[in-house]
Structure 1
């Protein structure tokens, strides 16, 4: 009989009578992993604090470029303001915190994975690793798309409302919050293919059901774009356009996953001698 593809328990592990790790050992393992993750996060925040001003200048680049496109009415260089004496400190601290999360996240996820992986089969571990990697890449791609494509065009459009009698006043904290939220929103939107992959893998959706909802999703995309972006057509389109494209990519992914599931189910029925199910 073929051996199961779980890895054997590590040497010296405190196993119970049934070969499983006792509850207290699980709790100690979880405590150690969370401690390591917390240390990595603190180290990441401290390290990023020394680069917070550079990161802030990098985040300012889209609005600086957009401002220069309206230099005839706004002037050559945008000036950031702050409402209180402590606002610049908290802006840099916020940057250090978010950058620390980003920098330490691979190690944090590694610690969590080391806690979860021993309870999974080899195939589940492979799928989990690939899913985590592609999820991270999709999120980074969404944030990068927002930064390099969306933000400058969006700010240029919004600054276009300025004139001789209407001048913008930019505040550090408000600009940072809006830019960060936009990048997070696009990162989350770009996770759609991975979400559809998961739902299709467990049989909750198919490419057929997604295709039937395709026309309605365009309406949903623009509604979401209106909720997550300023109330103008350009920003809503910049959000809804990628969502619609990603939805159609997700339909293709669901088609591949559904076909694989159907072929696997057909092979199992043929092996068991069961008749094929009637199509609904």
Structure 2
């Protein structure tokens, strides 16, 4: 009896190409839908209030503390055109963020267990809300206090006229810093729930985190006490919120096997 040829042997990868391709197609469709949502939001914001209106809104906290009659300047020829467009695109992404996150959730949800879905969906929603709250806190509270503090130290012989690109860079840095800082509870929940760091160690790390929060605030924010305290204090408070939320998530998102073991 002749030995089977290599062509007659079953292919271990047989049948795996189609599922892989179907996942790629679904990923493409989800990305397209997310981009369409961002595009629709961009078009709506472009019509009203418009790129210039959005930049005026973004610059309002700074303009309010500049000397009367002083405006921002543009040192580049194309800055008056590009900078408002960048602001509009950023605002469109934030406006379409729920749709973008829903598409991400819909893509990964079929591969998750029921107890994992109980963990992921609340984290996606809460992380979005916390990031937006951090941005809003920075815009409505921190900016006003920082610009007031800076202008109080400016000599009367100097007329402040910030460049619009430099202001955009500053705003984006502050928005990202405060948005990520407000994600501290999510980081705590994930570390504790995934078993990377036990909850008891996270509680013991509390005093070290306070020092770390002030160091981060001193590095990220401008060199003024107000903005540093405005970043460090919420981080410390949110760390405590994260410890409480982690205990709650660990209790209510156990796998069925873990619940049976805990009941015995």
What's 2:81 paired with? Answer: 89
Contact 1:49 1:92 in 2 (8 A): no
What's 1:37 paired with? Answer: 34
What's 1:119 paired with? Answer: 111
Query: Matched residue pairs, number?
Result: 249
> Which stretches in structure 1 are left out of the alignment for 5+ residues?
1-16, 68-74, 273-280
Distance 2:112 2:258 in 1: 26
Deviations 1:239-271 (A, max 9, x none): 111111111222222344456689x99964466
Deviation, structure 1 residue 107: 2.0
Residue correspondence of structure 1 range 144-163 to structure 2 within 5 A: 144-163=136-155
What's 2:23 paired with? Answer: 26
Contact 1:46 1:96 in 2 (8 A): no
* RMSD after superposition: 2.8
What's 1:12 paired with? Answer: none
Distance 2:259 2:24 in 1: 42
Q: Could you state the TM-score of these two structures normalised by the residue count of structure 1?
A: 0.78
Contact 2:27 2:107 in 1 (8 A): yes
Kindly report structure 1 stretches of 4+ aligned residues shifted beyond 4 Å.
Answer: 17-21, 257-262, 264-272
Residue correspondence of structure 1 range 227-266 to structure 2 within 5 A: 227-257=219-249
Distance 1:259 1:96 in 2: 42
What's 1:5 paired with? Answer: none
What's 2:64 paired with? Answer: 65
> Which stretches in structure 2 are left out of the alignment for 5+ residues?
1-13
Distance 2:231 2:205 in 1: 19
What's 1:47 paired with? Answer: 44
Distance 1:222 1:261 in 2: 33
* Structure 1 residue 183 corresponds to structure 2 residue 164: no
Q: Could you state the TM-score of these two structures normalised by the residue count of structure 2?
A: 0.83
